[in-house]
Amino acid sequence: MNFSETIQKRINDWLDGPYDEELKEEIRKTIIENPEEAKDAFYTDLDFGTGGLRGIMGPGPNRMNKYTVGAATQGLANYIMQEQGDHSVAIAYDCRNNSRYFAQIAADVLSANGIKVYLFDELRPTPELSFAVRHYHCSAGIVITASHNPKEYNGYKVYWNDGAQLVPPHDKNVIDNVRQINSPDKINFSTQRELIEVLGKDTDELYLQALLQVRISEEEISRQKDMGIVYTPLHGTGVKMLPAALRKFGFKNIINVPEQDITDGNFPTVKSPNPEEPTAFEMALAKARETNANIILATDPDSDRIALGVKLKDGSYKLLNGNQTACILGEYTLSMRQSAGTLPEKRFMVKTIVTTDLFSDIARNYNTECFEVLTGFKYIAELIRKNEGKAKYLGGGEESYGYLGDDFIRDKDALMSACQIAEIAAWTANQGMNLYEYLESIYRKYGYYSESLISITKKGISGKEEIQKLMSGYRENPPKTINGIELVEIRDYQKLEKHNILTGKTEKIDLPESNVLQFILSDKSKITVRPSGTEPKIKFYFSVFFDKYMESTDKEASEKLSRLESYFHIEN
């Protein structure tokens, strides 16, 4: 294959430059055996975005490897060192292939720059990293993870001193510093071992003890302490800590899925280690049927997101989506605290622009302010920080199965959520109902919202161009009606404008700029189109509303969602 002049020069720079000989040999082999892969590995640089790095592992500037991780860490070190005083960084990593290796590289580079490092001795959940950053008063934190991406991927997420992922101005400042590291000669790999402190069980115990802060009713738990809870970590970090968290909370009957307790970055028992995918639940469902468990919990590889399955009255199991779980968490927290008289006078909750509006309705019912932010938990964490000392954060969530129930962590936390979900399951059992019946009571109280998500993967150079073309088309030629339903409002988060089609009035949106479009219909249906910031995907979110919830509403909602999806002619 003949590469363009630019790509060939970039390949030659790596083959002739100060890189490992083993890596150079891998480049030569890829050029011969898979030239398209070589082209993709060298046509651009792996972008250090506002959240860090995420990409396929391998040699080249568009891949996760020693040098791209080293450059990211050197840039972060340079930015941290611009401030006076002592500096330290906590580092955690997940189960993925090369995660430990990349974590050690990050530790080496930071220590080589005179920065103290707190490095976990083994894989740990991402939320524990957030806890460690805050507990040890670190300047920053790093997690090596690619969440639920395919096994070929890994990633590098950066946290700031509040335990949250980077937000302005630090995100842009770190990016600027990373982009200045344009040669391996600018990376200091000369580790200073004496600056690396290993974290282990002591930190685990501090984190587990802190989780007890979200427990509302120890009595409700004690009455159901033997309730069956099936848990699968999907080969990830949850195996290390989540069962211990549930036991600390008061639950005794934690049922493992042994085949999926095995830590393995190849994720051998699932097509995708994504708890949003029903197929990831197959083994856990079988175990639940075998043991007659009350609930099923599944976490993603770095244990910041969690999915829930519940046993119904007929003995079958139903998997809830992220919106449904968020609403159960919100309603229980506010109603129980109200009953106990422990609702803070000034309080708030947070949802993203693609999380169900039912969450806002629940907050409003309890006179609790509900903020709406862009997709990404860092924006929820940013609001927590801005409201410190002014109002108490009581919970927030994303439709993508990420929730946080208290502010001593600053990222979504599957362990905290697992404990809260188990407590709610115990409470509902004590009331003579299951979790799905509790959800139905919420629908009867507020109205029925139903949502669906279609995620389309568009890989490579052509994929990026195709996604850009789609977004441009929707902006330049928005629909007037969708399935005969009138379009009443367009929200463009890139222009930061909300345009009311009926009145012609345009208002400003007070959020950071983001390449997202929302179409609001006259019947309260909502369609959101959003290219992913971390994966080669474009996502379509659909939401429909019915003011009455009856037995037939599920079917009607499903049919309405299907019609909306069909209108957009979405194809992979």
Q: How far is CA 378 from CA 223, 436, 498, in A?
A: 37, 30, 23
CA-closest candidate to residue 112, choices 198, 195, 199: 195
**In sequence order, which residues have a C-beta less than 8 Å from that of residue 349 and are 6 or more positions away?**
330, 359, 363, 368, 369, 370, 371, 393, 394, 395, 396
Determine the 3-state secondary structure of 467 from DSSP.
helix
- Give me the helices (H) in 366-483, please: 377-386, 414-430, 435-446, 460-476
Tell me, yes or no, if 147 is annotated catalytic. Answer: yes
Do 410 and 233 meet the contact criterion of CB atoms below 8 Å apart? no
H or E stretch at 392: strand 392-398
Residue 429 to residue 425: CA distance in whole angstroms: 6
Q: Which residue has the tokens 């862009």?
A: 374
Rounded to 10 deg, the angle between the 414-430 and 201-211 helix axes is 40
Number of separate helices (H) and strands (E) present in the chain = 19, 23
How do beta strands 392-398 and 254-256 pair? unpaired
How do beta strands 392-398 and 347-352 pair? parallel
Q: Rounded to 5 degrees, what are φ and ψ at 49?
A: -85, -170
Determine the 3-state secondary structure of 492 from DSSP.
strand
Q: Which residue has the tokens 């229980």?
A: 332
Going through 107-265 in order, the beta strands assigned E by DSSP cover: 116-120, 140-144, 153-160, 196-199, 229-232, 254-256
**In sequence order, which residues have a C-beta less than 8 Å from that of residue 292 and are 6 or more positions away?**
228, 311, 315
Residue 147 to residue 157: CA distance in whole angstroms: 10
Structure tokens at 395: 């919970």
DSSP for 305-369 reads -EEEEEE-TTS-EEEE-HHHHHHHHHHHHHHHHHHHT---SSEEEEEETTS-THHHHHHHHTT-E
Q: Catalytic residue, from 130, 147, 303, 400: name it.
A: 147
CA-closest candidate to residue 128, choices 304, 352, 317, 332: 304
How do beta strands 369-373 and 347-352 pair? parallel
H or E stretch at 485: strand 485-492
**In sequence order, which residues have a C-beta less than 8 Å from that of residue 21 and are 6 or more positions away?**
none
Structure tokens at 424: 């709610």
From first CA to last CA, the distance across the chain in angstroms is 27
User: What residues act catalytically?
Assistant: 147
